[in-house]
Amino acid sequence: MGLSQSFKFNYNTPSDIENILNDLGASSKNRLWTILEFNKKQMKFEFAIEEYGLNSQRSGDYFEALGLLIEKLTEKFGHIEIDDV
């Protein structure tokens, strides 16, 4: 699809992550969360919640959504690691 990255951080329950994804306007289907539009910008930004945090794939105009995601993750969970997959 595009760029694949993992976001590694410690969390207690998946609902902690789900709340953040909901705030970003992501929809869920079969354990895969997707953002197709953010602030009128088109993208395909997909997330899977993993035991280490999030796995993501994205393409399109996703930079604003990515920045907000990183801000929300660090605000909630503290230190995060981002790795290309």
Contact 73, 10 (CB under 8 A): no
pLDDT in tens, the chain (85 residues): 689 999 999 999 999 999 999 999 999 999 999 999 999 999 999 999 999 999 999 999 999 999 999 999 999 999 999 999 8
Q: Do the Cβ atoms of 25 and 13 come closer than 8 Å?
A: no
Nearest alpha-carbon partner for 54 in 27, 25, 16, 1: 16
Domains, in order of start, for the chain: 3-84 (3.30.310.250)
Nearest to residue 72, comparing CAs of 21, 4, 12? 21
CB count in 10 Å sphere of residue 3: 13
